Structure 1
Amino acid sequence: MGQIHVLPAHIQNKIAAGEVVERPSSIVKEITENSLDAGATVIEVFIKNSGMESIKVVDNGRGIDYEDRSLIFERHATSKLDTAYELFEIRSLGFRGEALASIGAVAKVSLQSMSEGSTPFKMVISGGDYETDTVWHERPGTIIEIKDLFFNTPARLKYIKNLRTETGKIIDIMQRMALNNPDVSFRLVFDGKDRFKTTGSGNLKEVINILYGTQVSSNAIPVSGTSPDYTIDGFIVRPEVTRSNRNYINLSINNRHVRHFKLSQSIINAYHTLQPKDKYPLVFLNITMDPKLIDVNVHPSKIEVKLSKEAELLKLMEDTVKNGLMETQLIPEVEHKKPKQEQFDQPAIDFTKREEQIREHIDTYEPPAKHMPQTPFRQEKSMEDLQSKQPYTNPFKQNTPVQKETGKPADIPAFVEQEPLPEKQKLPYLEIIGQLHGTYIIMQNETGMYLMDQHAAQERIKYEYIYKNIIKEDDGIPLLIPYTFEFSFDDVITIDEKLSELQSLGFDIEKSGMKQYTVSRYPSWIKAQNPEEDINDLIDFISHTDHFDVKKYREEMSIMMSCKQSIKANHYLDKNQMTALLEELGKCHSPYTCPHGRPVIIHMTTYEIERMFNRIMK
């Protein structure tokens, strides 16, 4: 007698529930996605006891037709697919028809719904068995409530240990839903208390403000990028706002939240040297593409995806984020928290009048020639040429010559007229005041006070110079007497595999024996007193690195060399040295952070300074 048989439907559903319904947050995700697919513009989610007691989702979507009610809790029953071909261009969030059948198999479910022109109904199912099926009150949309989750699967129930963790996962799911659908109003309620509510206005920045607060939303930068196959748009957050893990990299494809390590890594690469090590950015980006270029039928959770033309998308993502960061000024503001103290009756300063006084002072001010700051983007000239040929020019005044003490307009030098300034300067005009503790350079302009970390500034200058001019392919340094290195047999195989990578770094290296390698040329950026030792260490390092990246190695070497060669703290500079440092920083591609991601300059506004002295009572 044969032993193979088909399992009953209720057992099949329990098996499927093991993949689809992992925890309460899985149910929230599946039901909410159904509401979105139904065209709902208002979705309310009510949670009791972290979802273990009750999960209730109310929407105003199209609802379910009365004639379809018998198929709602059947496996692979769906309204979103008709043919196998449609699997290759999924346009809905759900499509498998497994969620409701799986949920109904491990919980007590009550569902009431009505579609336009159809009879409203209510159904109750418990552990896969129908209990009631009745006509219900008229109410457009759908209400579904799940109670006593995992009541008939004790092992799964024991897996749920920490209710706080379950709460956090539900909040995370709902936040991502709200971010991916800013035109839908979401409300999340835990045990009768609202956690958040969005307006559904379609304004993503407003949603970011509701979910993450003003610090994040006020530092959000809009970005967009396009290619023949992909469009990226959304917001990235300035690098001074960081998180300790990459969970705040919010990515969606066609408004579906996805997890994709390579895409997240391309964003982190774009922030490289703008954030401290082991800190991660906040981003809120949606990728629009033809559904034929993405496969979402990879895992039951539908979060993991496979992409066509992945390399093109990774490059577009990194370029989009990097361009967004480079197009904005990244000097962090100093936040001042007002102390609790008695308020004094003191009139507020008239900023309009004060600003006019500051501008008048700047316009007529002509510093001593030997201390005159050079605008970072002007044509490179020696300090002597500038002192002898050009009076001080206020960069805030456009197309207006500087007034000398005589009151007559000064002649503008020819080279200034002929040389167009860039569209956007990376650093504002800054006037150097002095130095604090031999470490920080104090500066000012009409907007307030600036502090520059001299070590971080020179570190950024040297990093960009070394990476651009030294750490690159060159003719290298030939050796009259080649170096010969011997390694163990265990290392020989890996070294043989990495010879091409060593050659790309500028080495002439070849195998000269069973365990010997001969180096007849090495790159010029190896400047140590004992290059033979450094070469040996480098070969050993590359041979023991699984995924050696030449570009990344050069970058890390640039960071290390720039840090060692830069000014240290408690090193006093004269005015000319400080001016020269500021000028060189202004020429940098990214003058806002050191290569390790620490800020180079911070800004304290005049308004904040006035508040600290209680000149302003707001």
Structure 2
Amino acid sequence: MSKIKILDPKIQNKIAAGEVVERPSSVVKELIENSIDAGSGEIQVSIEESGMKEIRVIDDGEGIEAEDAPLLFERHATSKIGDDYDLFQIRTMGFRGEALASIGAVAKVTLETMHKESEPVKLQYEGGAIVADEPGKARNGTDITIREIFFNTPARLKYVRSLRTEAGKVIDIVQRMALNHPAISFTLLIDGREKLRTGGKGDLKAVIADIYGINVARLAVPVEAESPDFHITGYIVKPEVTRSHRNFINLSVNQRFIRNFKLTQSIINGYHTLQPKDKYPIAVLNMEMDPKIVDVNVHPAKTEVRFSKEMELNALVENTVRNALREETLIPDVEKNTEKREKEKAEQPKFEFSRRAGTAAPGTSPKQDFNTGSVKEAAERPASRAREPVFRTEERAPYSHRGRVKREKPGGSETGTATGTAPSLQKQKLPYLEIIGQLHGTYILMQNDSGMYMMDQHAAQERIKYEYYYENIQKDGDGVPLLIPYTFEFPLDDVITIDEKIHDLKDLGFEIEKTGAKNYSVSRYPDWIRTEDPEEDIASVIDFICHKDHFSVNDYREEMSIMMSCKKSIKANHHLDKRQMEALLEALNKCESPYTCPHGRPVIIQMTTYEIERMFNRIMK
């Protein structure tokens, strides 16, 4: 008697359900994807007891013809593909034909649907079999209800987490679907209470505001990039808004939500040094590409994909994020009171989502337009969160550019060349700032037409030194010879390591020799060590290298740059005169990214004139 036999279809569906239906949120995801493929303009999701009691999804899609309805719960029954070639041209959300069969195997399902060219139908499916087939209501679209999930697989119930956790998973799925399909209106009801509603007008920034709030949407920066194989669009949020985990990085391929560690890391790398290492950004990116170069048929959940040109895509995503942030002024405003911010959010009458935030070019007067507009316009834009008051108790006098620091311009003086033509202005990262003093020997106070600014002098010099070291470490040069070599003594447990890595030090530009059991002499050090007393920095580099396993300059270039920049930067309670403060600001303005220190802390924060006047009750609402 043969031992091998084909399993009963009911058992097959239960086995498949183990991969497709992991938890209530998996059911929600599969049902929403079916609604999207049906061309729905509105999708309503309702759950009770976090989906364990009931999940209901209603859409206004094209519906299902009556003759096709009995096939819905058959395994691998689908209208999305017809032959093996279609697997390389997948543009629909679903295509495997497993979802409803798997859901029906472990739950009680009621489905009501109507196609415009067919009669309405109502099916009840329970534990792998149709238990009722009757006429339905005349309503375009599909209404499907899932009850008592895992009622016949009690072992699965033990692995379902708390109701709060499961509800959070459902919310996450609906939010990601809404972000990937802004042209569809999504509504989420939990135990009869509306938790989310999106407009469905195709405005992604409006959806970001619906999900994360207007204050986050104000800081969202549009991104777009294209290569021969990929087209990237979406928004990234300025680095002053952070989250404690990666879940707020939303990635989609051809509007299909995916999880991909390398792509997520590419976005994080694009925020290089702009955020602390333990914080993560908010981003919503969609990558359009030919279906032939992406394989979505990796796992039944369809969130894991494979790319044929993964390295090119990772590089494009990282460069796109970095370039978008490079074009922005990343000076954060002082945080407002949470309750007031929520009140302002509720009272906000209108928000212009199509308007991109910008700043005035430095070196321009308040009324002068240059590239991104005037200083006054920049102060009124959503990114600066300045609002026009309803009533002012008195008018403020125009800002005066007194004590202005001159900047050298190529080809002539500040006022122009000898022929009277205006010189070309070099693009500056920071707006024009006038230094007005120092606070506690730690913070430099500045002002311009839009308000007051505070600069952390230690963080500013850290950024300046970090970019210098990162740029110059391992550059070819003759180095700095010493007439009298420096002699260093190290503990015996470090000597063995230094002996092993002495060639790494020589590759960096050091001439170092062992002169005793624990002593080393340095007769030449690289050009990039530029301090009045380089001996301490040389010792720090040697110590840094001997505590790194398998040291490589390329691998540890950033870490070494951070270490070098932090040691000799201005500390707190160090008083500077006006000339020193101006020199520090001038050097910071030449940095590639002058907004954060290498550790991700802000260098400059802003308090707008509106916020200051409101605190002094000079603005009456």
| Cα distance in 2, alignment partners of residues 533 and 335 from structure 1 | 38
> Does structure 2 conserve the Cα–Cα contact (< 8 Å) formed by 1:528 and 1:534?
no
Matched residue, 2:467:
464
Among candidates 595, 609, 612, match of residue 612 of structure 2: 609
Give, as a single letter, the amino acid of the residue that structure 2 aligns with 1:316.
L
Identical residues among aligned pairs (%): 59
CA distance in 2 between partners of 1:286 and 1:77 (Å)? 29
Offset of residue 378 of structure 1: 3.4
Partners in 2 of 1:222 and 1:538 — Cα distance? 41
Distance in 1, matches of 2:212 and 2:429, equals 28
Q: Does the 8 Å contact 2:66/2:114 carry over to 1?
A: yes
Match of 2:270 in 1: 270
Q: Which amino acid aligns with 1:16?
A: A
What is the distance in 2 between the residues matched to 1:88 and 1:347?
Answer: 59
Return closer, same or farther for 1:570/1:417 CA change in 2, 3 Å cut-off: farther
**Is residue 435 of structure 1 aligned with residue 438 of structure 2?**
yes
SS at match of 2:103: helix
Residue in 1 that maps onto 2:567: 564
The verdict on how the C-alpha distance between 1:532 and 1:48 changes in structure 2, with shifts beyond 3 A counting, is: closer
CA distance in 2: counterparts of 1:558 and 1:503, whole angstroms: 18
- Aligned CA RMSD, in angstroms, stands at 3.4
The Cα offsets for residues 568-607 of structure 1, whole Å up to 9 and x where unpaired, read as 0000011111111111111111111111111111111111
Partner of 2:597: 594
Q: Which residue of 2 aligns with 1:409?
A: none
Q: Structure 1 unaligned runs (5+)?
A: 341-345, 382-388, 394-411, 510-518
Helix, strand or coil: the match of 1:66? Answer: coil
Aligned length: 557
Aligned partner of 2:187: which letter?
R
Partner residue, 1:403: none
Give a deviation string over 1:145-177, Cα, whole Å, max 9, x none. Answer: 000110000100121131111000000000000
Judging changes above 3 Å, is the alpha-carbon distance between structure 1 residues 532 and 331 closer, same or farther for their aligned structure 2 residues?
closer
Q: Which of 365, 374, 388 is the matching residue for 2:406?
A: 374
| Deviation of the 1:374 alpha carbon | 2.8
Indicate whether 1:244 and 2:238 are aligned. Answer: no
> 1:469 deviation in Å?
2.8
Shift of 1:102: 0.4
SS in 2 for 1:72: helix
Aligned-pair distance for 1:274? 0.8
Between the aligned partners of 1:470 and 1:532, the Cα distance in structure 2 is 16
Q: Which residue of 2 aligns with 1:46?
A: 46
Aligned to 2:548: 541
1:309 partner letter: K
Output aligned runs, 1:99-110, within 5 Å.
Answer: 99-110=99-110
CA contact (8 A) 1:473 1:504 kept: no
User: For 1:58 and 1:463, how far apart are their aligned partners in 2?
Assistant: 55
TM-aligned CA distance change 1:338 to 1:297, over 3 Å = closer
Shift of 1:328: 1.1
**Which residue does 1:513 correspond to in 2?**
none
Matched, 1:420 2:424: yes
TM-score, structure 2 normalization = 0.82
Alignment of 1:173-188 (within 5 A): 173-188=173-188
| 1:358 partner SS | coil
**Distance in structure 2 (CA, Å) of the matches to 1:558 and 1:81:** 54
Shift of 1:115: 1.1
- Within 2, Cα distance between the matches of 1:502 and 1:250? 43
Match of 2:398 among 340, 358, 361: 358
- Partner of 1:264: helix, strand, or coil? helix
Cα distance in structure 1, aligned partners of 2:390 and 2:18: 68
What does residue range 479-498 of structure 1 map to in structure 2 within 5 Å? none
Structure 1 pair 326–414 and aligned structure 2 pair: CA distance change class (3 A) = farther
With over 3 angstroms needed to count, the CA separation of the structure-2 counterparts of 1:560 and 1:238, relative to structure 1, is: same
The answer on whether the counterparts of 2:474 and 2:508 sit within 8 Å (CA) in structure 1 is no
User: Which amino acid in 1 is paired with 2:433?
Assistant: L
Unaligned runs of 5+ in 2: 341-388, 513-521
Moved over 2 A (4+): 335-340, 346-351, 377-381, 412-419, 469-481, 498-509, 519-540
Change (3 A) 1:244 1:415: farther
Match in the other structure for 1:14: 14
Kept in 2, the 8 Å contact 1:45–1:188? The answer is yes
Structure 1 residues 438-462: Cα deviation after superposition (integer angstroms, max 9, x where no partner): 0111111111111111111111111
Q: d(CA) in 2 for partners of 1:302 and 1:503?
A: 51
Paired letter, 1:594: C
Name the CA distance, whole Å, in 2 between partners of 1:595 and 1:65.
60
2:571 match: secondary structure: coil
Say whether the 8 Å CA contact 1:78–1:96 is kept in structure 2: yes
